[in-house]
Structure 1
């Protein structure tokens, strides 16, 4: 049961479809804890409306006349103390993610029951977020740097090495400064074959010569398990 002492939530609606706006106005007008602060069909109209200053929650469509309204969220958040709740017909998670990262406190799809929208308005007004579990997990991962971490180029290069090439690098590390003949003998191959392996390794790891290969391998611990 609702506490009668709870304050009324002032809701401002923004949608460029007048039929949708008409229905939303009546929905908010009939809700127990809500009052319609005003409505608009564009961001410009919203900013020009004195009633928008009283809003606690701005419910706004993402697509306003073909323009992405999330581009205006920074200005809206700077101008008003209201929280932004997106109401959209789009199912695209990337679009929803951009809206939240732009400052929206929640996203509700237009196909969802009206009870969901009313509940979302209440939760957003209370300071909570209203997004689906997959999206909030994705956004949290992005904010913590865990989502799609930038791959390390060195890891990609090292992954191209064959077991034989790793063996050659191990021998180079083990016999630091030794002549090619010593390394080739240790590997049981000819100097010519060693040179061919090294040429391929230099190309893969983007190093120039055995000294750079030795430093590269030591820094990245390639073939160092046999090194004492």
Structure 2
């Protein structure tokens, strides 16, 4: 137990957002089993329900299934969800794209279905204390991305690669780097194209810029090119 809680003797108030009843039961039982360190003050089946409950239950931390989280047009979790509280996202599987999106959307930590009970409890405690929590799997993935970016030789004239992109590909690149949406489905909807067309555009962009996925693309533009989104568009 942290020194803060030893002094104040107040449990960490957790709002759990999960629509799978068995998982909801397991998380609630796990968290409440660690009183007085923490307790579930409310549950919600979706983000809208959670936002309605927050003023009344005043949670310190929101533990939400990643698939239930929807973001603002700026690519952030709603202000009412994150202001004055921590947010942990619980996902089926961590990928480079979902990890990057989670960090940029404002979450303080990521857990997976493979996370142990001890890891979940520790993540709640540490994120409440102000630390970031991504676990061994997500941390290893982030290190691999940074290692690839560091090992990839910077081209002599990096901006020349952008000239290879078509106007439509530049628009797709702008949407990805700006992180206005998280999924290919939402990105395609925003661009008024089909998912298959979006995948074709992304494949072409990856090939022209020499990257392998959306997280690599973001790292490449931000780190290797050293330009802002406005310069990419």
TM-score (norm 1): 0.55
Instruction: Please give the alpha-carbon distance, in whole angstroms, between the structure 1 residues aligned to 2:105 and 2:19.
Output: 20
Structure 2 vs 1, CA of residues 97 and 147 (structure 1 numbering), >3 Å: closer, same or farther?
Answer: farther
Instruction: Please give the alpha-carbon distance, in whole angstroms, between the structure 1 residues aligned to 2:152 and 2:28.
Output: 41
Count matched residues. Answer: 151
* 2:135 aligned with 1:133: no
1:121 corresponds to = 124
2:71 corresponds to = 71
Could you list the runs of 5+ residues in structure 1 that have no partner in the other structure? Answer: 158-228
Q: Is the 8 A contact 1:9 1:57 kept in 2?
A: yes
Q: 2:17 aligns with which of 14, 17, 29?
A: 14
- How far off its partner does 1:39 sit? 0.8
Q: Is the 8 A contact 2:51 2:80 kept in 1?
A: no
**Could you say which structure has the larger radius of gyration?**
1
Instruction: Please give the alpha-carbon distance, in whole angstroms, between the structure 2 residues aligned to 1:96 and 1:154.
Output: 26
2:85 corresponds to = 82
1:37 corresponds to = 41
Q: Is the 8 A contact 1:8 1:34 kept in 2?
A: yes
- How far off its partner does 1:34 sit? 0.2
Instruction: Please give the alpha-carbon distance, in whole angstroms, between the structure 1 residues aligned to 2:67 and 2:60.
Output: 22
Q: 2:96 aligns with which of 84, 93, 98?
A: 93
Structure 2 vs 1, CA of residues 139 and 22 (structure 1 numbering), >3 Å: closer, same or farther?
Answer: same
Q: Is the 8 A contact 2:18 2:65 kept in 1?
A: yes
Aligned residue for 1:74, secondary structure, equals: coil
Q: 4+ runs of 1 displaced by more than 6 Å?
A: 138-141, 145-150, 154-157
Instruction: Please give the alpha-carbon distance, in whole angstroms, between the structure 2 residues aligned to 1:155 and 1:118.
Output: 46
Instruction: Please give the alpha-carbon distance, in whole angstroms, between the structure 1 residues aligned to 2:158 and 2:47.
Output: 48
1:60 corresponds to = 64
Q: Is the 8 A contact 2:94 2:112 kept in 1?
A: yes
Q: Is the 8 A contact 2:51 2:81 kept in 1?
A: no
CA RMSD of aligned residues (A): 3.4
- Which segment drifts farther, 89-98 or 99-108? 89-98
Instruction: Please give the alpha-carbon distance, in whole angstroms, between the structure 1 residues aligned to 2:151 and 2:61.
Output: 30
Structure scoring higher RCO (CA < 8 A, sep ≥ 6) equals 2
Aligned residue for 1:49, secondary structure, equals: helix
Q: Is the 8 A contact 1:37 1:51 kept in 2?
A: no
Instruction: Write out per-residue CA displacement over residues 26-53 of structure 1, whole angstroms, 9 at most, x where no aligned residue.
Output: 1111113001121101001101115665
Instruction: Please give the alpha-carbon distance, in whole angstroms, between the structure 2 residues aligned to 1:53 and 1:146.
Output: 45
Q: Is the 8 A contact 2:42 2:57 kept in 1?
A: no
TM-score (norm 2): 0.54
Q: 2:51 aligns with which of 47, 51, 62?
A: 47
Aligned residue for 2:77, secondary structure, equals: helix
